[in-house]
Structure 1
Amino acid sequence: MASTSRTAPAATPPAVARRDAAATRAALIEAAVSEFSRNGFAGARVDEIARAAGVNKQLVYHYFESKQGLYLVALESVYAEIREKEQRLSLGELAPAEAMSQLVAFSFDYLAEHPEFIALLTDENRNQGSHILESERLQKMHSPFIEMLEATLARGVAEGVFRADFDAINLYISIAGISYFFFSNNHTLSAIFGKPLGSRGALVQRRRHVIEFALNALRP
C-alpha cells in the first residue's frame, strides 16, 4: 500500500505576522474608540468591539489584557492624534495675531471634526480622570499647543499687540472651553434657543466668534 505524505503548511513569514498583528491591533483600537465614545467605559462591550473589528474576542485580551487596558490605549490614541496634528502647525513665520487666530481655529476645527474625542473626554471626566491617571504615556504627553501659545504670546507682547498679563495655560483652557462647551452641549443649546446650532452656518458663525473673542481678549 502506497504511503500518503502530507506537506506541512508553510510557516507565516515573521514580517507578514507582524503586519497582520499590527493591522488587527489597529482595527481593535479604532473599534474601541467608536464603542467607548458611544457608550462610555461602563457601557461599552468587549464583544461588540471585537465584532466591529472583525476578530475573535479573545484577541482583545491577547493584545490589551483587559477592557480597561483597551480603554487606556483608546484614550492614548485619541490624545496622540491631536498632539501629532498640533506639532504640524508651523506658526513662527506668521504675525502674532494671525498665528493666534490659526491656533484658535485649529482647536475649534479639531473638535468639530472629532466628536468621539469630546465624548471620550466627557466620559473620562465623569470617571474623575481615573484612567488617565493610570497612564504614564498620557501624563508625559505634554501638549505642544502650550509651547506654541507661549511663543506666540511672547512675540505678540514684544510687538505690542498682546497684553503681557496672560498665562499660556489659562489661555489654553479658555480657548478649549469656549469651543468644547459649544460642541459638548450642542443638542441642549439648540433646543433651548430654538436654533440648529449644529448646522454648517452655525458652525461658521461660531468659529468666527471664537477667534474674534480670543483675539479681542488679548489686545492691550
Structure 2
Amino acid sequence: MDETVQKSPPSAADSRPARQRAAREAAATPGAERVRVNDPDRTMANILQVATAEFADKGLAGARIDEIAALTSTSKRMIYYYFGSKEGLYVRVLEEAYRRIRQIESDLHLEDLAPEQALRTLVGFTFDYQLANPDFIRLVMNENMHRGEYISRSTTIQELNIPVIHAVHKVYQRGVGAGVFRPDVDPVDLHMSISALCFFNVSNRHTFGAIFKRTLEAPAAMAERRASIVEMIVRFLRP
C-alpha cells in the first residue's frame, strides 16, 4: 500500500450540508418517485446515507426521523416500514458503517505481503480511513455514550468484526514465525492499540489542538502523525 498520506477531508460540519443538498437534488430529479417505488434497495441506501450524517452529527437522541424523511423525500412511514423504528435505523447505520471499513480491509490482501509490510499497510489504512471518515468516528463515540447498547443487539456487527481479528492474528503469527515480531502479544490487544492511536487522532484533534496550540489538520502534520503511529506499532512488536 502506498504510504503517502491522503489529503485531509473537509470536516463533517462542512460536508454535511453538501450531502443534504445532494440528497434533495437526487430526490427532486424527474422520475425520483418512480425510482423510490421500484427500487427499494436504492431508497434504503439513500436513507442510510442521510441517516448516517444525522446520527453522527446529533446522536440517537438528537436525530429526527422527520428530518431524515425530508432530506430523502420519503416519509416517516416508509422509513419505519424498512427499518422498524428509529432505533432500528440507527442499528442499521452502525452495521453499514462497520461493513464498509471491514470490506475495504478485506481487499488489502495482507496475506500477499511480508509480515512487517502487511502490518504497516494495515495501520496506514486504519489511519487513512478514519481520517477520511469522521462520521464513523462520531458514530462510535455516540455509541460509546450508550455503553455499546445498540451494537450489542446486532449479531451482524459481531460477525463483521471477526475477520479483522483473524487478519491481525495471521499477520502477527507470520511475523512471529519469521522472527520479526515478539511472541507474547494478544491479537485483540494489538487491534485495540492500532484502533486507539488512529481513533484519537480524529476524535480529539480539536481539543488537543486547542490546548496545545497545534494545527493538527495540516497535511504535513497528518503525514508526520501517520508515520509516527505506523512506526510505534511496528517497534512495539519487534523482539
Per the normalisation by structure 1, the TM-score is 0.89
2:118 is the alignment partner of 1:115: no
Aligned to 2:57: 38
Question: Deviations along 1:67-94, whole A, 9 cap, x unmatched?
Answer: 1111111111101111111111102221
Q: Which runs of 4+ in 1 moved over 6 A?
A: none
Mapped contact 2:130–2:199 kept (Cα < 8 A): yes
Mapped contact 1:83–1:143 kept (Cα < 8 A): no
Structure 1 distance, partners of 2:176, 2:37, is: 51
Name the CA shift for 1:196/1:17 in 2 (closer, same or farther; >3 Å): closer
Question: Deviations along 1:46-102, whole A, 9 cap, x unmatched?
Answer: 111111112223211121121111111111110111111111110222111111100
Shift of 1:134: 1.4
Shift of 1:188: 0.4
Aligned to 2:174: 155
**2:45 match: secondary structure:** helix
The one of 96, 110, 123 aligned to 1:104: 123
Structure 2 distance, partners of 1:171, 1:77, is: 24
Aligned-pair identity (%)? 40
Name the CA shift for 1:59/1:151 in 2 (closer, same or farther; >3 Å): same
Superposed, 1:78-89 pairs within 5 Å as: 78-89=97-108
The one of 195, 198, 204 aligned to 1:185: 204
Specify every segment of 5 or more residues in structure 1 that has no aligned partner in the other structure, as ranges: 1-15
Question: Deviations along 1:19-45, whole A, 9 cap, x unmatched?
Answer: 521111111111110100000001001
Higher relative contact order (CA 8 A, sep 6+): 2
Mapped contact 1:86–1:144 kept (Cα < 8 A): no
Structure 1 distance, partners of 2:139, 2:59, is: 7
Name the CA shift for 1:19/1:209 in 2 (closer, same or farther; >3 Å): farther
Name the CA shift for 1:17/1:70 in 2 (closer, same or farther; >3 Å): closer
Aligned to 2:73: 54
Structure 2 distance, partners of 1:60, 1:158, is: 51
Structure 2 distance, partners of 1:29, 1:98, is: 35
Aligned to 2:45: 26
Structure 1 distance, partners of 2:72, 2:171, is: 42
Structure 2 distance, partners of 1:196, 1:159, is: 40
**1:92 match: secondary structure:** helix
2:212 is the alignment partner of 1:196: no
2:160 is the alignment partner of 1:141: yes
Aligned to 1:65: 84
Larger fraction in helix: 2
Structure 1 distance, partners of 2:57, 2:228, is: 29
Specify every segment of 5 or more residues in structure 2 that has no aligned partner in the other structure, as ranges: 1-34
Structure 2 distance, partners of 1:129, 1:77, is: 16
Structure 1 distance, partners of 2:201, 2:116, is: 23
